[in-house]
């Protein structure tokens, strides 16, 4: 039985999970393509457990979503330890709260149909319906988004999803079990600040990304030491905020741009990976290079920012999600060649060099102290 239909019959779903609130939001299919938005390489916390029913985690909630008859039906679940929340609010207040969470997450105040009409005038691929409408940019938690895209380095969506799930299981708070699957919150900075974090993540097959995650947590907690860090970045210009993000080990231009677009409200930023690079070369006549470099990253990003404005980042999300679906369909029988949502190889190489340089700098500083 679908969890969306059964949840309203009882408040207790499992031993540790209770139903919090259900409701619906009117929204047309032209304003929201739910599947391609949730599974389109932006967030890695959603699964399609049965056809057209999506289950994911936002904060401390497990959420089930279905888009039926141009209504987004939703059900929120919470851990049973939070059952006092049910007594502190009435059903109407809970519906207002949960509806607002989804409005903010899907950024429903932005009218995608109006943007699509503008993009059609500047780009014939939109005009000819080669890029589908309804794909929205998700407004994500900055820490979760940052760690997720650090994990995206030379990786594919399926493996990134597995890595983020493992990270949440190992370090995040358990929310509860729904339909046989146990869900966890994304861990906080304090929960990830463990002396053996890198070692343990390497044991979980995070590879070199384990070092980047550990250094990111240390940097945010001990160097930045400011709970309003990401909020402060929102008030900066794109260039200023990008400079701050690039100071974090493991964060190159692509990762920084994903955080700018998906967590800091910089709607015109166009992240460029190997697939956007391929789109630029194949359909828009950009110069063909075997690899992304700093120079052609800037060129491609600037080109699309001008072509697709306003909200160029949203057009990029649609183009990328469409490429993801097309490539996946072409490779359904070739598992080993699954689509990669990777940062460019130049970023990976630069990150490895950055680690070496920092190690050398620390070694020199230690020698100076000892002398």
Give the CA-trace dihedral at 157, 161, 144, 89, to 10 degrees. Answer: 130
What pLDDT, on the 0 to 100 scale, is given for residue 6? Answer: 38
Cα separation, 127 vs 154, in Å, equals: 33
Tokens of 181: 């699957």
What pLDDT, on the 0 to 100 scale, is given for residue 98? Answer: 96
Segments of the chain scoring below 70 in pLDDT? 1-10, 88, 289-290, 326-371
Q: Which burial class, exposed, middle or buried, applies to 217 when counting CB atoms under 10 A from its CB (0-12, 13-18, 19+)? A: buried
What pLDDT, on the 0 to 100 scale, is given for residue 14? Answer: 82
Long-range contacts of 58-65 (CB under 8 A, 24+ apart): 58/101, 58/105, 59/101, 59/141, 59/185, 60/173, 60/175, 60/185, 61/20, 61/98, 61/101, 61/175, 62/17, 62/175, 62/176, 62/178, 62/183, 63/102, 64/3, 64/4, 64/7, 64/178, 65/34, 65/38
Task: Answer left, alpha or beta for residue 178, where phi above 0 means left and psi between -120 and 50 means alpha.
Answer: beta
How many other CB atoms are found less than 10 A from the CB of residue 346? 18
Cα separation, 63 vs 57, in Å, equals: 6
CA distances to 148, 168, 273 from 164, in Å: 7, 6, 20
What pLDDT, on the 0 to 100 scale, is given for residue 293? Answer: 83
Strand partners, 65: 54, 74
pLDDT one-digit tens code per residue, 302-318: 999 999 999 999 999 99
Spatial CA neighbour of 115 closest among 251, 268, 258: 268
Strand partners, 31: none
What pLDDT, on the 0 to 100 scale, is given for residue 3? Answer: 43
Domains and CATH numbers, the chain: 17-110 (3.30.310.40), 140-173+184-264 (1.10.340.30), 267-327 (1.10.1670.10)
Cα separation, 90 vs 292, in Å, equals: 53
Per DSSP, the three-state class of 362 is helix
CA distances to 31, 33, 37, 316, 320 from 99, in Å: 16, 18, 18, 27, 28
What pLDDT, on the 0 to 100 scale, is given for residue 328? Answer: 61
Tokens of 185: 């919150």
Per DSSP, the three-state class of 13 is strand
Spatial CA neighbour of 218 closest among 200, 232, 197, 241: 197
Active site (catalytic) residues: 254
What pLDDT, on the 0 to 100 scale, is given for residue 83? Answer: 76
What pLDDT, on the 0 to 100 scale, is given for residue 91? Answer: 87
What pLDDT, on the 0 to 100 scale, is given for residue 274? Answer: 87
């Amino acid at each position: 039985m679908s969890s969306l239909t059964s949840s309203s019959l009882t408040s207790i779903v499992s031993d540790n999970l209770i139903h919090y609130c259900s409701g619906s939001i009117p929204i047309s299919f032209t304003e929201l393509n739910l599947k391609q938005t949730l599974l389109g390489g932006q967030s890695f916390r959603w699964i399609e457990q049965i056809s057209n029913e999506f289950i994911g985690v936002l904060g401390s909630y497990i959420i089930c979503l279905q888009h039926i008859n141009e209504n987004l039906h939703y059900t929120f679940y919470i851990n049973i330890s939070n059952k006092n929340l049910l007594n502190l609010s009435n059903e109407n207040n809970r519906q207002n709260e949960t509806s607002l969470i989804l409005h903010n997450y899907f950024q429903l105040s932005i009218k995608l149909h109006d943007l699509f009409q503008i993009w059609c005038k500047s780009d014939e691929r939109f005009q000819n319906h080669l890029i589908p409408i309804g794909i929205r940019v998700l407004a994500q938690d900055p820490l979760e988004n940052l760690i997720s895209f650090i994990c995206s380095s030379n990786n594919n969506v399926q493996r990134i999803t597995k890595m983020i799930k493992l990270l949440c299981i190992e370090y995040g708070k358990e929310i509860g079990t729904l339909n046989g699957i146990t869900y966890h919150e994304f861990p906080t900075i304090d929960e990830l600040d463990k002396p053996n974090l890198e070692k343990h993540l390497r044991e979980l097959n995070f590879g070199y990304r384990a070092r980047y995650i550990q250094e990111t947590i240390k940097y945010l907690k001990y160097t930045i030491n400011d709970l309003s860090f990401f909020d402060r970045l929102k008030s900066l210009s794109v260039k200023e905020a990008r400079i701050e993000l690039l100071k974090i080990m493991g964060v190159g231009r692509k990762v920084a741009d994903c955080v700018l677009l998906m967590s800091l409200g910089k709607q015109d930023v166009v992240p460029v990976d190997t697939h956007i690079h391929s789109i630029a070369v194949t359909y828009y006549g950009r110069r063909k290079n075997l690899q992304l470099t700093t120079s052609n990253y800037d060129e491609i990003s600037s080109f699309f920012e001008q072509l697709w404005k306003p909200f160029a980042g949203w057009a990029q999300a649609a183009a990328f999600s469409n490429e993801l679906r097309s490539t996946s369909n072409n490779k359904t029988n070739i598992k080993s060649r699954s689509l990669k949502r990777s940062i460019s190889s130049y970023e990976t190489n630069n990150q490895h060099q950055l680690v070496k340089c920092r190690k050398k700098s620390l070694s020199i500083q230690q020698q100076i102290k000892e002398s």
